[in-house]
Amino acid sequence: MNPLLQVRQHGQQLWLDNLSRTLLNDGHLARLIAEDGIAGVTTNPAIFHKAIADGRYYESDLDALREQPMDAEGRYEALVLPDVRRACDLLLPLHEESDGDAGYVSLEVSPVLAHDADATFAAGMRLNATIDRPNLLIKVPATAAGVEAVERLIGAGVSVNVTLMFSLAHVDAVAEAYLRGLERLRRAGGELAPVRSVASLFLSRVDTLIDKQLEEAGGTALELRGRTAVAMARLAYQRYRERFHSAGFEALRAAGAHPQSLLWASTGTKNPAYSDLLYVEPLIGAETVNTLPDATLAALRDHGRIAPTLESGTEAAAAHYAALRALGIDLNTAGERLQREGLAQFEQAFTALLELTA
């Protein structure tokens, strides 16, 4: 059986971490949905930069847009928002068949707004209204301002993908913002059932940073390399289970609310010494999402070994965290650094993107 379809049998959705007009026009995304069970799409500024820079389907539209009285960001949105809408439409049957559990497309607010809660909220509301599809997720970074905007967007009935999470502290802050947003929505008399959220925990960059610190420590610390991100994901999943499958969530669940699912992001292995499926095979579990770049998706299809692995090794994950603390490695501090660096990379990609459409 196709390993990609096997993953779904264990309750995990696979989303494609890519979108372009080429994928849409050539029918490739439709085939991934129909044949491989791809259940969603994620995007970011770097993905759209590559799509427009390399894609043959954008040139004539961009030339025409340059004749219009709009700025570079307006041209960018005029190019990509129709693609997002088309992807939403491709996934809409799955969204409807699953009663809203699957079939989402994520669209990011400008990373330039990451430290402005009001502007992020306004951008999220505008993009949600512009796309006007029930299976859109507005992507918001897990900065302090972003977390505030998440609460307000959820409170306004907008579904959200919270991105750039790199630590358990981020996991907790984002989940609590989601719960507060649901309470806001309930108090306002809104419907909770249509609102969904995923919390995107970035993995490979965590190992890249922590491995360097372990190499500096040397000795037995070297044995801990390549294990931090998976340990973090397993501990995050335990927190998810405790938070959303406990009595504390029952009142919201009874009102129609859904848990905020964890999404594994940054799942392409960066260290060639590690398995190309390091952030896939050990993290298969119910009520989760793994968003995969094309190469990782192909690797999983080719030689993936599928089993329900996410809840195994939880004690070892806790022991790994304890060993890092004993070495003086603070994973929450590391998470803040990685978030700053990740946001800077998205800002650079967004700047380059606007240079393309200027």
Nearest CA to 226 among 279, 283, 263?
279
In angstroms, rounded to a whole number, what is the distance separating the alpha carbons of residues 52 and 37?
A: 26
DSSP state of 93: H
Query: Is 212 among the residues known to form the active site?
Result: no
DSSP state of 268: S
Please give the structure tokens belonging to residue 298: 């192909």
Helix (H, G, I), strand (E, B) or coil at 202: strand
Q: Give the E-state strand segments of 17-67 in sequence order.
A: 40-41
- CA count, 13 A, side-chain hemisphere, 277: 18
In angstroms, rounded to a whole number, what is the distance separating the alpha carbons of residues 338 and 49?
A: 22
In angstroms, rounded to a whole number, what is the distance separating the alpha carbons of residues 240 and 287?
A: 10
Q: How far is CA 75 from CA 47, 80, 241, in A?
A: 16, 9, 43
Q: How far is CA 321 from CA 230, 233, 234, 287, in A?
A: 11, 12, 11, 24
Nearest CA to 147 among 169, 158, 162?
162
Query: Are the CB atoms for 120 and 145 separated by under 8 Å?
Result: yes
Among the listed residues 50, 139, 212, 270, the single catalytic one is 139
Q: How far is CA 308 from CA 5, 7, 9, 235, 311, in A?
A: 13, 8, 9, 16, 8
Residues contacting residue 310 through CB under 8 Å, at least 6 positions apart: 233, 234, 237, 282, 283, 284, 285, 286, 288
In angstroms, rounded to a whole number, what is the distance separating the alpha carbons of residues 340 and 348?
A: 12
Active-site residues, by number, are 139
